[in-house]
Amino acid sequence: MVKNFIYNFVPGGVRREVKRRLLGQPRICPQVYAWAKRNPQHVEIVREFWAPHRRNRNAPKPFANQEIPKVFLDHLEYPLYEKTLFRIKNVTMRGKEGVLFLPDGIVTHQTAWAPEQIISTYAYQKKWTGPEIFKKGNYSTLIYYWGLGYYHWFNDVLSTLHETLELMPDETLFLLPVGYKKSYGGEFYIKSLNALGIAPDRILEFDGSESWIFEKLWWQPPAVHPDDQTPGALRGIGESISQSIPRNSDEKAVKIYISRKVPSARVVKNEAEILPFLQEAGFVICKLELMPFDEQVRLFRNAELVVAPHGAGLTNLIFAKPGTRVVEIQARGHERRCYWTLCEELGLEYRFYLGEPEFPGRRGEPDVEISGAELLGGIQKICNTNGY
């Protein structure tokens, strides 16, 4: 009864603070910028790019006269956090999640998206008893919550290097989780970093078995929510990577359909109904999980129309030219905004199409059933006209 009273009437933040004190755990730093202002002896603010502010964007357009979902309408205005590059002395990294302990012992949660994601780690909960290694020189972390996922790698991780990488010393070493080369095929991590000027010999793998104390850590915490985009970052990143991939003599404009039959979630259940038409209309049917990274870049930089169910493959739109047309298929009631916002940031022509959710899905998400005639009719109209 007492437990129910506490959970019903005591705010979550108060509960967490009481528990933290009872267990002797470190305080959470909600904002490194404010901490830096109070602790100039520990940190240099290298550059302040912008203060927190809000921006507006256009509502997405439906593909077939469908109602705009609430998740889109709720985010026509969105926040940008402060964007600041710091150089911090004697930061400690612990645990496989790369938790950062600031010089005065408090922990920043800005390598994740909420304090709970840091509080749940072993590195935060348990007192460190392992070896501590001092790392002389200049370092920067690329270890972020969800950071190895394809979308999050480009949108969350690499975006922190936009406009900041050029301010770091040339000898700066960059930290990634141990085993990153085995995640999602791995090659896109190395190739994307190399395209930005970070060679493989400047990458260090961190496994959490030791506690590393960095003489100097160069760090710009993410400036936006992971479903939003850092202004200018993805366009610059996409162009740099595309320029690093040699062009083939046979590259030409292409229409793309992404099939998710290989993954285990968000599959278009009646996809077989539309594939013959799409192939007849000149679409390339892609299973991106089976394609080398270079070929994905080549494919999307030549895209004129992309049709796809929601999924990480749409991240490749960062390689598409402005004005590329995009139709994203989502399950009604399970919409996500990240590829609409990505298209808005990149100047792409986005439409959404809502199908009916099909349960049981996989990994907690439904598959989607579409009206083949409705979708194909709209695609045919796009293919036969210059309008959208």
Q: Is 240 helix (H, G, I), strand (E, B) or coil?
A: helix
Q: Which residues contact 177 (CB under 8 A, 6 or more apart)?
A: 96, 98, 143, 147, 148, 205, 206, 207
pLDDT at res. 16: 63
Identify whether residues 315 and 205 lie together within a single domain.
Answer: no
Q: Is the domain of 118 the same as that of 260?
A: no
User: Rounded CA gap, 261 and 268, in Å?
Assistant: 8
Task: Flag whether 67 is in a domain.
Answer: no
Q: How far is CA 236 from CA 39, 192, 219, in A?
A: 33, 12, 19
Same domain for 115 and 172: yes
In a domain, 52, yes or no: yes
Looking up tokens 């083949």 gives 372
Q: Which residues lie closer than 8 Å to 308 by C-beta, 6 or more apart?
A: 256, 257, 258, 260, 314, 326, 327, 328, 329
In a domain, 372, yes or no: yes
Last residue of a domain, one of 206, 240, 274: 240
**Are 227 and 266 members of one domain?**
no
Residue 68 within a domain? no
**186 with 305, same domain?**
no
* pLDDT at residue number 5: 54
Contact in structure between 96 and 178 (CB atoms under 8 Å): yes
Q: Are residues 265 and 138 in the same domain?
A: no
Residue 180 lies in a domain: yes
Same domain, 264 and 224: no
Contact call for residues 78 and 228 (beta carbons, < 8 A): yes
- Residue 229: what pLDDT? 98
Domain, as residue range, for 42 = 2-58+81-240
Q: In terms of domains, do 216 and 294 share one?
A: no
Per-residue model confidence (pLDDT) at position 375: 86
Shared-domain flag, residues 50 and 198: yes
pLDDT for position 183: 76
DSSP H stretches of helix in 257-368? 275-280, 293-301, 338-346
- Which of 187, 214, 240 is the last residue in one of the domains? 240
Residue 74 lies in a domain: no
pLDDT of the residue at 365: 86
Between CA 101 and CA 162 the distance in angstroms is 24
- Alpha-helical runs (H) found in the chain: 2-9, 12-23, 32-38, 70-73, 115-119, 122-125, 150-152, 187-195, 233-244, 275-280, 293-301, 338-346, 372-384
Question: Are 221 and 274 part of one and the same domain?
Answer: no
- Give residue 37's pLDDT: 97
- Beta pairing, strands 83-94 & 211-219: antiparallel
**pLDDT score for 261:** 75
Task: List, in order, residues 6 or more apart from 344 with CB less than 8 Å away.
Answer: 57, 58, 350
Q: CB under 8 Å to 147, separation ≥6 — which residues?
A: 153, 156, 157, 177
Kindly state whether residues 139 and 216 are assigned to the same domain: yes
In a domain, 340, yes or no: yes
User: Can you give the pLDDT at residue 362?
Assistant: 72
Q: How many domains is the chain built from?
A: 2
- Report how far residue 96's alpha carbon sits from residue 305's, in angstroms, rounded to the nearest whole number: 40
Token representation of residue 79: 């926040």
Same domain, 155 and 102: yes
Q: What does the alpha-carbon distance between residue 172 and residue 201 come to, in Å, rounded to a whole number? A: 11
Q: What is the block-wise mean pLDDT of the chain (388 residues), using blocks of 10 residues?
A: 59 66 78 96 98 96 90 97 98 97 96 93 93 98 96 98 98 96 84 97 97 98 97 98 96 95 79 91 93 97 97 97 96 96 97 91 83 86 69
Quick check: helix, strand or coil at residue 329?
A: strand
Say if 183 falls within a structural domain. Answer: yes
Can you give the pLDDT at residue 4?
61
In this structure, what CATH number is given to the domain that contains residue 357? 3.40.50.360
